[in-house]
Structure 1
Amino acid sequence: MAILVSILSRVAFPPPVTCLLVRVMSVAFLLFSVTGVFEGLGKNFQYSKFFNLNVHKSTSKQIRLSSRIAMLIVYTPAFLYAIASFWQLPNVGLRSLLVKPALTLHFFKRILEVLFVHKYSGGMAVDTVIIITLGYFTTTSITIYALSLTQGFPEPPVDLKYPGVVLFLVGIVGNFYHHHLLSSLRTKNDNGYKVPKGGLFGLVTCPHYFFEILIFLGISFISQTLYTFASTISTICYLMGRSYATRRWYLTKFDDFPKDVKAIIPYVF
């Protein structure tokens, strides 16, 4: 524990003693990391294709939206808040000038992908849409707010914001490229699943998740607040569990799926 505290004191701003919300949400995200275990065990969220394969009859009575409309609803509030934050909250030096555009670009890319890249099948329950929308909005707003609370604090001894910019840009480009590869697998009237090829798909099942992790690592490195580190750890755990479930699903569904392809980290996991 002492080693962890020492590391955090060098790479993160101290927690804001005047804001209980940020501290509570930081702990909540660390606890949320356990969802990665549930994803890996097959206890999937309702927007997952794995959930749809084993959907319970009771869910047929739920109000459902088309996946495209649902994902637009999911991403738009966080995108609008990121834009509004340029005027709503003060800039705290260069970090704010980097984090706000990064979050805006991230959700703008997601909206563009929903409109022009992704091909969807099925739908999403309204209650699931609400939960995920609140999750993205809360994460975005508190990330920016927590950074604004660092005003007047000395910079962490280890400056990670420039490596963070590099990680974020690599993540954005890599994530978009592999989403494009996934989308190109389906023709207009084809709703089936195929084994993805190209890019890093020869090494891992979910390279788009790998690059999404780089996006959030980049944002946490730029801001260097305990909250963003906590939310990033939670995201990493969830995406690792989800990628593990995806790899297991491909192994079950496709006899020719390569056994040496890992889940999310090339040659490792």
Structure 2
Amino acid sequence: MFSATLKSVLHHARYLPLWSALTVMRWRAFDMRSRGLGTTLGLVMRWFPPARARFAREAKRVFPDMPRKQRVALGQNMGRQMGRTLFEIYHDAEFQTHHHKFQVSGPGLAALKQAQAAGKGAIILSGHFGQWEAIRAVIKMNGMESGAVYRPNKNRHYERRLKAGIQAGGNPILATGRVGTKGLVRHLRGGGIVSILLDEKYSEGVQIPFLGHDALTSLSAAQLALKYDLPLIPAFGTRIGNGNTFRVEFEAPIPHSDSLTMTRSFNDILSARIMADPEQWYWMLRRWDGVAQG
């Protein structure tokens, strides 16, 4: 009983700062609220020591020669980007109506439409880069709908808000794990589309280079694409300009070969985008945990 009460108190305490920030800004225009939460998380990344240290550990791995001042600025800019992204996900139903914000390009969208016209499913691969929900917004704009695979949050308040936002972007929403995997297979076999963020650590995965260092990576998306003959389409929603607009690019499907080669290809694609625009990637994923670094 005491343990459950303590857990509930901790969940409330950890959610309170975000709830407060969202409440204070609730009467402002959408883009002003987005910028406001971005500014707040940027300040957290600059002045909250645990967050700054966690970011520095990951950034130093990839940019060992980056000066401290530049690294601190990168962390703060990342915080601004992710604050805006979090706000837009929390308010995904409204975000998806802002069609004027999306600049769409790339051959992958035509490949997606072709697969749907043939009654086939498709797998969209992305990462915690820019605004990944912009991808599903564009899919909806084109008369289709993409489900999503997500990792449930342990904090029940964050989980409630995040899940509601993700569901507004398209269904079904499938949690990681055995039950979610079964639902994913049914959805794909039935001709559905699913979007997967493939840049989280997967403990049962294989070591594949990511940003120059081995990272535990799941092969399941490529395995499903091969098993059911589905296109595996990398897509990215990059925040551009003043941060209110997005360049949504659907790259050509990754050629079918074997699951390791295909997954490595995606890791290389995402790594290149991060190196070109590092503040748009969420560096707090502990991406290389569980792998001995040489």
Same fold (TM over 0.5): no
TM-score normalised over the length of structure 1 = 0.30
Higher RCO structure, 1 or 2 (CA under 8 Å, sep 6+) = 1
Q: Normalized per residue, which structure has more helix?
A: 1
Relative to total residues, which structure has the larger strand share, 1 or 2?
2
